[in-house]
Amino acid sequence: MKKKVFTRFTAILFLIGLMTAIQYNTINEPDRRDTRDVWEVRQELSREKKLHSQLLSEIGTLDETLNKYNIAADESPEQALRETAGELRVAVGLAETTGPGFEVLVEPSMEAVALGLAIEGISPDLLIRLVNEINRYDALYVSIDGKRIINTTSIRDINGQTSVNAKPVETPPFSIKIISKSMDDAEKLYNHLLASRILDDFYIDNMSLAVSVPQSDMVIEAYDGIIDTKYLQAIEGE
Amino acid sequence: MWLSILGLLLGISLGLLTDMQIPPEYANYLSIAVLASLDTLFGGIRAHLQQVYDDKVFVSGFFFNIALAAGLAFLGVHLGVDLYLAAIFAFGVRLFQNIAVIRRIILAKWAEKKEVRETI
């Protein structure tokens, strides 16, 4: 009888031990291992470094503004404010801007003209691809067919017509103006566009891109609409 | 007695060596099952010491307790009420009561033995 009791106890204790060990294993699951190789770590590092330098340059700009305020505070605070407002208007796109850049002419391709095909307007998808391609190489300001691209610009199909800022884009030819940070950047973008695969995409739609040589005094029109700030709120505090 | 401890060690080492794991969402159920089996075990030891041990009660109690506790926990998860706390509470209280009874019985036996030795 006694032996039977202990056999039972042994079986129960075995089960308890097993369950406790499984519970322990489950709860003390080791942290996920870092399996990135050197190359991935380097990429991560370069991303972080880029962010770092971007933040540093932003701090530099803000410091400069602060200095300007300090210097101008004694002389004319209004002037400093006016300058800042002017800079902000340029950054947002409410002012006509001049800078190093170039023009891209979207035309019907020669084959389409020779074959007498009907010339159709550019599709929104293709236009968005082109704008993305341009922005990838650090373009500062862009206007499409005289319509300035700002942060809230939409490129979409409205009643069968491709529209930018809700205004229709003409059928080709029309021009796209681009301004970069510097002449170097403008040339980089120019070379990139000349060799880009987007040319093939345009060719499929019976269009071609004529990229003009960068010039130092490209003029881009101001945004002519009203920027709706209904949902913006002032930050409280400082 | 040593056989029982051997069983416990065997269970722990088997669990640790095979590195068995269950999905984390079932960890609650397993902890309740451990508690239920501990409760059954101490209940069994107490019954054995009080000479009222019944094999059927012991074995059925083990499985029934575990099933009831897991069922309560399952129901609790689906009702959004932490019902498994009820099981933990019940098992916890009974565990302490059983251990207290076992302690008293062992102490009484020990005192008895001492008395017998002194009279000799």
pLDDT tens-digit series, residues A99-140: 888 888 888 888 878 888 877 888 888 888 888 888 888 788
Percent of the residues in chain A that have a pLDDT greater than 90, as a whole number = 9
Tell me which chain B residues have a C-beta less than 8 angstroms from the C-beta of A17: 7-15
CB contact under 8 A, B15 and A22: yes
Joined together, the tokens standing for residue A230 give 């209904």
CB contact under 8 A, A13 and B15: no
Give residue A45's region: left, alpha or beta (phi > 0; psi -120 to 50): alpha
Q: Which pLDDT score is estimated for A235? A: 82
Joined together, the tokens standing for residue A66 give 């602060």
B73 CA: distance to closest CA in chain A (Å): 16
Which residue matches tokens 């980089």?
Answer: A188
A140 CA: distance to closest CA in chain B (Å): 51
Task: Give backbone dihedrals phi and psi of A219, rounded to 5 degrees, phi first.
Answer: -110, 130
A18 CA: distance to closest CA in chain B (Å): 4
A237 pLDDT above the threshold of 80: no
Average the pLDDT over A48-65 and give the result.
93
Tell me which chain B residues have a C-beta less than 8 angstroms from the C-beta of A29: 21, 24
- A interface test, pick of B6, B8, B25 with most A CB neighbours within 10 Å: B8
CB contact under 8 A, A22 and B31: no
Chain A residue whose CA is closest to B23: A26
Q: State whether CATH 3.40.50.150 applies to domain A97-220.
A: no
B64 to chain A, any CB pair closer than 8 A? The answer is no
Question: Rounded to an integer, what distance in angstroms lies between the CA atom of residue B8 and that of residue A225?
Answer: 79
Tell me which chain A residues have a C-beta less than 8 angstroms from the C-beta of B6: 10
- pLDDT, tens only, B15-50: 888 888 888 888 888 888 888 889 988 998 899 888
Residue A55's pLDDT band (cuts 50, 70, 90): very high
Question: Rounded to an integer, what distance in angstroms lies between the CA atom of residue B29 and that of residue A104?
Answer: 67
B54 CA: distance to closest CA in chain A (Å): 9
Q: Which pLDDT score is estimated for B105? A: 92
Residue A1's pLDDT band (cuts 50, 70, 90): low
- ipTM value: 0.84
Q: Which pLDDT score is estimated for A46? A: 92
Q: Which pLDDT score is estimated for B104? A: 93
Q: Among B19, B24, B37, select the one facing A16 at the smallest CB separation.
A: B37
CB contact at 8 A, B8 and A9: no
Residues of A near B (CB-CB distance < 8 A)?
A: 4-27, 29
B8 to chain A, any CB pair closer than 8 A? The answer is yes
Q: Which pLDDT score is estimated for A30? A: 64
- A interface test, pick of B2, B9, B31, B34 with most A CB neighbours within 10 Å: B34
Q: Among B6, B12, B55, select the one facing A21 at the smallest CB separation.
A: B12
Residue B120's pLDDT band (cuts 50, 70, 90): confident
- A interface test, pick of B3, B12, B13, B52 with most A CB neighbours within 10 Å: B12
Percent of the residues in chain B that have a pLDDT greater than 90, as a whole number = 17
Q: Which pLDDT score is estimated for A31? A: 63
Tell me which chain B residues have a C-beta less than 8 angstroms from the C-beta of A4: 55
